Chain A
Amino acid sequence: MRSFILNDEKIDCHLPSGTLLLDFVRYHKALKGTKIGCREGDCGACTVLIGDLVDGQMKYQNVTSCLTPIGNVYGKHVVSVEGLNMEDLTPVQQFMVDESGTQCGFCTVGFVVSLSGYCLSNSAPNYNDAIASIDGNICRCTGYKSIERATRKITNALQNKDTEHTVNWLVEHKFIPDYFLDIPKRIEALNPVEEKITKAVLIGGGTDLYVQKHDQLVDKEVGLVAHQNSLRYITAENGVCTIGGGTTVTDLLESELFNSYFSNLSDHIKLVSSSPIRNISTIAGNFVNASPIGDFTAFFLALNAKITLSENENERTIFLKDFYKGYKDLDKSKEEILTSISFVIPSSNSQFNLEKISKRIHLDIASVNSAISIAITNNTIETIHISAGGVGPIPSYLHRTVAFLKGKTITAENIKQANKVLQSEIQPISDVRGTETYKRLLLRQLFYAHFIKLFPDQISLKALI
């Protein structure tokens, strides 16, 4: 049964699975608190919460309903602002009022929903995390300062939150209505059946396809590959880490394994999109989308990752760097699904870095990005992989630069020479994200930044320029 719960109401859904959650909530159910600002996940006016039953507890995340196919919420709890409203304002709402965090009001509900989602998280309250929960919400009126002040008060009000029993505590303190208490039971009772992936258009998180092909999807059945438990895992075995194709970016961020491999993981991931997008977008989707500027493509290219493509029983595994044949041209048949990604777990002497610059530092598509993994033995570069995005028709694995640097020592002179090699193997073009000249200079700088950051004792900007 295609069922889910919307606020306090059980929904048996008869619409095509590609219908957008936004249109369902706003127009089919006339819950007009959820607004439309851009329909491309870039403003957050349509933010709702999606709650998933995990180990007997509800786990809520904020998502952009404008990019979420309704099929991705079967068996889940969807919360719009109407599902948070009670007779009195909730503390989140009240602090937004008290601090004048709302002017025209059009974006406000998105902020309220995201902040309420933050309250629902089972973690100890912390101002920076609370702010991170609204990193996908854009406000054109306030300049955000009043919203920051409200967020600080909200964080303070959560100080005594019982994170073992978050929902109960929030109900008790009137952050959420009491129907939330019964939701886990009601979700369990829905007993959703995982839908077989059909031959229709495959949708992961939908965060790119619904931007590019909105009109072709919203009235169709789609193949749902994300959020299928069989495709959503992160494992480590025999020195190899494998992640399922349906794994979301947030799954990576929250993975203990991943955090143990990459000490600055949260700093890197903060540069990628926004919380509500990261909560639904899949790593595989980032690869298959074939954008020359995909942040996770750059990330995994620098891990020299492999991908497994499956069609029914047939499987094949190739290097990610061999996946891209030309602009938006993949080594993949129409029927194949990217089911998993694997990479050799970085050795203890290995270091990793991701650099990205865009017009706006957060919630933006890169002008240029680059990642590096590098291991040094006896002062020479033993293994190295470097990627760059935005400097050619495909996400680039910098073969020649890598070959040049292998076996070299870390000196400013070698890195300057390597930049010359690098410049010879990229073909950036001028577009809305920057001129060719800028992208060349920027990649040089990001390439230098890797070494300045990872080898501060050996390399300085001064020595490089």
Chain B
Amino acid sequence: MKNIDAKGHVTGRSVYVDDIPTLQGTVYGLPFGSPVAHGKIKEVDYSKALNFPGVVKILTYQDIKGENQIGGIFPDEELFAEKEVHFQGQPIALILAESDHIAYQARKLIEIEIEEQEPIVDPRIAQQKGQLIFPPRTFQLGKIDDVWQKCAHVFEGRADSNGQEHLYIETQGAYAIPLENGNIKISSSTQGPTAVQRTAASVLGVGMHRIEVDVVRLGGGFGGKEDQATPWGVMAALGVQVINRPVKLILNRMDDMKMTGKRHPYSSDYKIGLSEDLKILAYEATFYQNAGAAADLSPAVMERTLFHATNSYFVPNVKATAYSCKTNLPPNTAFRGFGGPQGMYVMESAIAHAASELNVPKHRIQKKNLLKDGDEFPYGQIAEDVGLHQIWSDVDSKFDIEQVHKRIERFNDEHHDVKKGYSLQPVTFGISFTKTPMNQARALVHIYSDGTVGVSTGAVEMGQGVNTKMLQIAAQMFSIDPAKVKLESTNTTRVANTSPSAASATSDLNGKALQNACKELIKRLKRSAAQHFKVELEDIALKDGWVVRRGVATTMTWEQLVDKAFLERVCLTENGHYATPVINFDKSIEKGHPFAYHVHGVALTEVTVDCIRGSYEFDSVKIVHDFGQTMNPSVDYGQIEGGLVQGIGWMTMEEVSYDPDGRLASNTLSTYKIPDIYSVPKEIIIEAMETEGSEMAILKSKAVGEPPLMYGLGAYFAIDYAVKAFNPNFNSTFDAPFTNEKVLMALYSNKE
């Protein structure tokens, strides 16, 4: 089934927040943010702005009746700064005006005096100064201290990966309208409707029942709207509370880039020990996570870095420590992969380092150490259904790794000004929210008396196709024409207390809840049919819109059955609930079974580097991926292609750049570049390793949202290979992204 939204998308009829028809009297909100990264607010003079014609009101912390607090994990982030500012762009006030144009003009008239303090932008400096978001954590396996001396080879080094701007094409936004009795409805572009609801309630000083959050769809999220859609929805709601008029707040691109957090930059140290035959015996890593000015989701992101510190490899002795460092950048946040990619990058760097020193192809070390069933992860979970060896051999049989190596070596011998490189990139990614209580979902299903079906879940559609999958599930369960099923918006009054659409787990959690709801409804309908046909419930089946009795079609249609049940006063509405079984994690010992299952795959990347100019093109990326049994190939393959390209972007051209004083330099689309159609690999081949799939996955179709991003890591190491072919004196610095600038500098470093 194609994405059910596709027709709306290609005709421009799909509705996003800013497309909702505005009500009469709507005012436009524009946040006023701190001009500096760190300082004490001495004085803010709003008088000129307030006098500007068309300005209705300027909201500050003084207008807040509840708590001036939006921190999700820790209460460490104000909605509006009161006395201090901790990052450039930190909201201080919200201008409400009759038009957005008026608001922009008024914003320039606000005068602010700030006593500047020295900002910290480097996480290592923050750690040295004791500026941590929360205490460090360490995952351990084996006895690492005893092992180093047994290693034939030990290498140490440093690896840095930069941030990444989400660059959802639809910027953050919300539209809040007053309802009666002080109730407020917020239409929000959020991955986490409940977070918006909960936070709005506590800021406004009202119960959650007063706040309704509705989400039709997002113009892209990628994690950037998991936690950081919240302030804008809350501000709009606050505006409604204060002036009792509808408030629309859509960030412009520059404000969005400046005011919201990104993927966490990490600076890390690694130490890797190998045996004579290239077995990794020990791995130690210390991660300095650049959390930004507040916790946001950093603790959870940091945790996933630790979970994925050894990526797809079994290492018997591991010590991985992470520090969440408080700096004066916007609070960094969720981004597809959620800390996992950053952890894996360090492991891959360590292996690349070892391979380079030992003069063996990197993939020999990778292959030698691939996980297999029964291996223990550093967090205590035992690996099951690991398809990695199979996947690797599939890659080899389909694409012939040795042949690729030879072909590239030959090319490099024959060419001086252009060099090719390649890499293999295995990925192992754990599926589930690592915070166990979040692994629950609900779905509300109405069967209308005419046989059509309305489905509400906690899942937010943001392009990942979750609504299509939900619709498939309902139509399959009831065995009716998909046209009879409608996916409703995600709304907190229909499905409450939801987890955000994140962690690749949305389809699994909400799909299973939906299955539970459908199962219950089917049972009731079958009971009604069984009575009619005077048979047992087990004798009844629903097939292609008909009632089937003991395997034989009857004359009763789905519609007739529904109508009959309705007249019999059978409840045709059901709320399904699902909580992932088995999973657990004990933070006091950092051990447990946090993931329902893992997703695996391997990517083979080839690149060509122009050694005159330092630019490069990706010739191909060939992937073998463990889908389980994909329930929707067009959606799932799209996730692989899109995730891969996003990962390549992170590793290559996407360069978040802050000045030393904490001001974002890459604050527009002209200074922050994401892949365009010409910069994606010329060829992307995706082969499915169809496996049994996991019972924990919806219809055995494994989660697919985040894992493919990490195939993009291969881009870095393929370039590294090509650069070394031109300049053997180049010492890999492991400092992603590998921009054209870094490539050219590397090509000519220590050259003469």
Which 9 pairs, one residue from A and one from B, show the smallest C-beta to C-beta distance? A33-B12, A104-B463, A106-B219, A105-B9, A143-B645, A42-B669, A103-B463, A143-B641, A81-B12
Q: Which of A239-247, A310-318, A439-447 sits within the interface?
A: A439-447
Other-chain residue from A39, A367, A448 in contact with B253 (beta carbon distance below 8 A): A39
Let me know if B666 and A104 touch, CB within 8 A.
no
B745: A residues at CB distance < 8 A: 437-438, 441
Say yes or no: is A1 at the interface (Cβ < 8 Å to chain B). no
How far apart are the CA atoms of A107 and B171 in the complex, in Å?
12
How far apart are the CA atoms of A94 and B739 in the complex, in Å?
37
Say yes or no: is B52 at the interface (Cβ < 8 Å to chain A). no
Say yes or no: is B14 at the interface (Cβ < 8 Å to chain A). yes
Let me know if B11 and A45 touch, CB within 8 A.
no
A10-61 with Cβ < 8 A to chain B: 30-40, 42-43, 45
Say yes or no: is B416 at the interface (Cβ < 8 Å to chain A). yes
B1-32 with Cβ < 8 A to chain A: 2-3, 5-16, 18-19, 21
A433: B residues at CB distance < 8 A: 671
Q: Which of B317-325, B357-365, B587-595, B608-616 sits within the interface?
A: B608-616
Say yes or no: is B206 at the interface (Cβ < 8 Å to chain A). no
Say yes or no: is B638 at the interface (Cβ < 8 Å to chain A). yes
How far apart are the CA atoms of A91 and B679 in the complex, in Å?
26
**B470 to chain A: closest CB distance in Å?**
16
Say yes or no: is A123 at the interface (Cβ < 8 Å to chain B). no
A106: B residues at CB distance < 8 A: 16, 168-170, 219-220
Other-chain residue from B6, B7, B653 in contact with A360 (beta carbon distance below 8 A): B653
Number of interface residues of A (CB under 8 A): 83
Q: A138-B674, A146-B638 are in contact. Are A461 and B615 (CB under 8 A)?
A: no
Nearest residue, chain B, Cβ from A432: B665
**B163 to chain A: closest CB distance in Å?**
14
Say yes or no: is B377 at the interface (Cβ < 8 Å to chain A). no
A362: B residues at CB distance < 8 A: 676, 678-679
**B97 to chain A: closest CB distance in Å?**
13
Let me know if B7 and A89 touch, CB within 8 A.
yes
Say yes or no: is A112 at the interface (Cβ < 8 Å to chain B). yes
Let me know if A103 and B613 touch, CB within 8 A.
no
What are 23 sample pairs from A and B whose C-beta atoms fall under 8 A apart?
A: A33-B11, A36-B250, A39-B252, A39-B253, A81-B12, A100-B6, A100-B634, A102-B6, A104-B221, A105-B9, A106-B219, A108-B10, A140-B642, A142-B645, A143-B641, A143-B646, A143-B680, A144-B641, A144-B677, A359-B655, A360-B676, A365-B670, A445-B744
Say yes or no: is A218 at the interface (Cβ < 8 Å to chain B). yes
Say yes or no: is A357 at the interface (Cβ < 8 Å to chain B). yes
How far apart are the CA atoms of A266 and B168 in the complex, in Å?
31
Let me know if A32 and B104 touch, CB within 8 A.
no
How far apart are the CA atoms of A138 and B218 in the complex, in Å?
16
Say yes or no: is B115 at the interface (Cβ < 8 Å to chain A). no
Other-chain residue from B169, B615, B645 in contact with A104 (beta carbon distance below 8 A): B169
Say yes or no: is A460 at the interface (Cβ < 8 Å to chain B). yes
Let me know if A465 and B219 touch, CB within 8 A.
no
Q: A105-B14, A437-B745, A460-B416 are in contact. Are A100 and B635 (CB under 8 A)?
A: yes
**A87 to chain B: closest CB distance in Å?**
11
A30: B residues at CB distance < 8 A: 21
B417: A residues at CB distance < 8 A: 452, 460-461
- A-side binding surface: helix, strand, loop or mixed? loop
Let me know if B612 and A449 touch, CB within 8 A.
yes
Let me know if B12 and A85 touch, CB within 8 A.
yes
Further 14 A-B residue pairs, CB within 8 A, beyond A37-B669, A445-B614: A40-B253, A104-B168, A106-B220, A135-B677, A143-B641, A143-B645, A145-B684, A215-B104, A215-B105, A359-B673, A361-B678, A441-B745, A442-B613, A442-B744
**A211 to chain B: closest CB distance in Å?**
7
Let me know if B676 and A143 touch, CB within 8 A.
no
A361: B residues at CB distance < 8 A: 615, 678-679
A100: B residues at CB distance < 8 A: 2-3, 6, 634-635, 637-638
**B659 to chain A: closest CB distance in Å?**
9
B356: A residues at CB distance < 8 A: none
B739: A residues at CB distance < 8 A: 359
**B619 to chain A: closest CB distance in Å?**
14
Nearest residue, chain B, Cβ from A134: B677
Let me know if A89 and B168 touch, CB within 8 A.
no
Let me know if A97 and B740 touch, CB within 8 A.
no
A358: B residues at CB distance < 8 A: 673, 740
Let me know if B748 and A142 touch, CB within 8 A.
no
Say yes or no: is A137 at the interface (Cβ < 8 Å to chain B). yes
Say yes or no: is A290 at the interface (Cβ < 8 Å to chain B). no
Say yes or no: is B644 at the interface (Cβ < 8 Å to chain A). yes
B2: A residues at CB distance < 8 A: 97-98, 100
Say yes or no: is A141 at the interface (Cβ < 8 Å to chain B). yes
Q: A38-B669, A437-B745 are in contact. Are A102 and B9 (CB under 8 A)?
A: yes
Say yes or no: is B462 at the interface (Cβ < 8 Å to chain A). yes
Let me know if A40 and B670 touch, CB within 8 A.
yes
Say yes or no: is A355 at the interface (Cβ < 8 Å to chain B). yes
Say yes or no: is A96 at the interface (Cβ < 8 Å to chain B). yes
Let me know if A82 and B670 touch, CB within 8 A.
no
Say yes or no: is B530 at the interface (Cβ < 8 Å to chain A). no
How far apart are the CA atoms of A389 and B6 in the complex, in Å?
43
**B186 to chain A: closest CB distance in Å?**
20
**B558 to chain A: closest CB distance in Å?**
27
**B580 to chain A: closest CB distance in Å?**
26
Say yes or no: is A194 at the interface (Cβ < 8 Å to chain B). no
Let me know if A441 and B642 touch, CB within 8 A.
no
A364: B residues at CB distance < 8 A: 670, 673
B165-188 with Cβ < 8 A to chain A: 166-171
Nearest residue, chain B, Cβ from A150: B10
Say yes or no: is A334 at the interface (Cβ < 8 Å to chain B). no
Other-chain residue from B3, B615, B669 in contact with A102 (beta carbon distance below 8 A): B3
Let me know if B169 and A367 touch, CB within 8 A.
no
Say yes or no: is B732 at the interface (Cβ < 8 Å to chain A). no
**A142 to chain B: closest CB distance in Å?**
5
Let me know if B12 and A142 touch, CB within 8 A.
no
How far apart are the CA atoms of A462 and B584 in the complex, in Å?
60
A120-154 with Cβ < 8 A to chain B: 131, 134-135, 137-148
A387: B residues at CB distance < 8 A: none
B646: A residues at CB distance < 8 A: 140, 143
Nearest residue, chain A, Cβ from B252: A39
A461: B residues at CB distance < 8 A: 416-417, 611-612
Say yes or no: is B339 at the interface (Cβ < 8 Å to chain A). no
Q: A140-B646, A365-B670 are in contact. Are A357 and B740 (CB under 8 A)?
A: yes
A40: B residues at CB distance < 8 A: 253, 668-670
How far apart are the CA atoms of A465 and B635 in the complex, in Å?
49
Say yes or no: is A203 at the interface (Cβ < 8 Å to chain B). no
**B107 to chain A: closest CB distance in Å?**
10
How far apart are the CA atoms of A112 and B6 in the complex, in Å?
12
Let me know if A85 and B642 touch, CB within 8 A.
no
Let me know if B673 and A89 touch, CB within 8 A.
no
How far apart are the CA atoms of A97 and B463 in the complex, in Å?
13
Say yes or no: is A93 at the interface (Cβ < 8 Å to chain B). yes
**A386 to chain B: closest CB distance in Å?**
17
Q: A32-B19, A141-B642, A360-B653 are in contact. Are A104 and B170 (CB under 8 A)?
A: yes
Say yes or no: is B657 at the interface (Cβ < 8 Å to chain A). yes
Other-chain residue from B3, B464, B612 in contact with A452 (beta carbon distance below 8 A): B612
A351-386 with Cβ < 8 A to chain B: 355, 357-365, 367
Interface string of B644-664 (1 = CB under 8 A from A): 111000000101010000000
B217: A residues at CB distance < 8 A: 104-105
Let me know if A448 and B684 touch, CB within 8 A.
no
Say yes or no: is A109 at the interface (Cβ < 8 Å to chain B). yes
Say yes or no: is A219 at the interface (Cβ < 8 Å to chain B). yes
How far apart are the CA atoms of A362 and B105 in the complex, in Å?
34
**B218 to chain A: closest CB distance in Å?**
6
Say yes or no: is B741 at the interface (Cβ < 8 Å to chain A). yes
How far apart are the CA atoms of A92 and B9 in the complex, in Å?
12
Say yes or no: is A346 at the interface (Cβ < 8 Å to chain B). no
**B203 to chain A: closest CB distance in Å?**
27
Nearest residue, chain B, Cβ from A45: B169
